[in-house]
Amino acid sequence: MHKLYPSQQPGEKIMLVVRESLFLLFVKFFLVLILIIAPSLIKLLFNILSIDFQISQEWSVILTLATQLYYLATLLALFLVFVLYYLNMNVVSDQRIVDIDQKGLLFREVSELNIESIEDVTTEIDGLFGNIFNYGTVFIQTAGTTERFEFENIPNPAKVSSLILKLYEAHGVQKK
């Protein structure tokens, strides 16, 4: 079995795997797509305005090459946007909560928290789009001075926090 995080136990039941809201992914894709179509739009604009640059054959080849490399870079950007979206995830299992942050290509941070050490769970939905598309942040406060956990911009934050609280209660009942 492929482990989602290093300390995953064989009998551990994964209750939820949640990533950033799809709306935010589409916004990022849209921005990269604008960059992809920008050269064609500029060319079209020059044609409409009848602007014709007199450049030599060699410079025309270099311009084509530069455009090709630009497409290569935007393709890489598109791929990276998806990779970072896919690798950034939050996992809720019946025993722990795991926050996997892929902050950069070579910077990965995995934080784990036992269900029993939860102090409180806060949900925050911010902004117009957050309210329309129902995405927000869930903060999980732990006992002691440990930094609070953040599930950033996840869809249905209220449902996620209610699941975490249910698991906490179930865990408490099991211990008694």
Partner 1 sequence: MDNLFVLITNIIFAIIIFGVGIFSIISIYIFIKYGRSRRITSAISLVYFVLFLLLSFSSLLILQKL
Q: Which residue ranges make up the site for partner 1 (CB under 8 A)?
A: 2, 4, 17, 58, 61-62, 64-65, 68-69, 71-73, 75-76, 79-80, 82-83, 86-87, 89, 102, 105-106, 108
Q: How far is the CB of 109 from partner 1 (least distance, A)?
A: 12
Shortest spacing between CB 16 and partner 1, in angstroms: 13
Q: Least separation, in Å, of the C-beta of 151 and partner 1?
A: 17
- Which two tokens mark 71? 């497409």
- Can you spell out the DSSP letters for 13-56? PEEEEE-S-HHHHHHHHHHHHHHHHHHHHHHHHHHHTT------
Beta strand spans in 74-116 (E): 89-93, 96-104, 107-114
**Cβ closest to partner 1, residue 106 vs residue 173:** 106
Q: How far is the CB of 108 from partner 1 (least distance, A)?
A: 7
Pairwise CA distance, residues 112 & 5, whole Å: 9
| Pick 46 or 71: Cβ nearer partner 1 | 71
By C-beta, is 91 or 121 nearer to partner 1?
91
User: Between the CA of residue 158 and those of 14, 53, 119, what are the distances in Å?
Assistant: 19, 57, 17
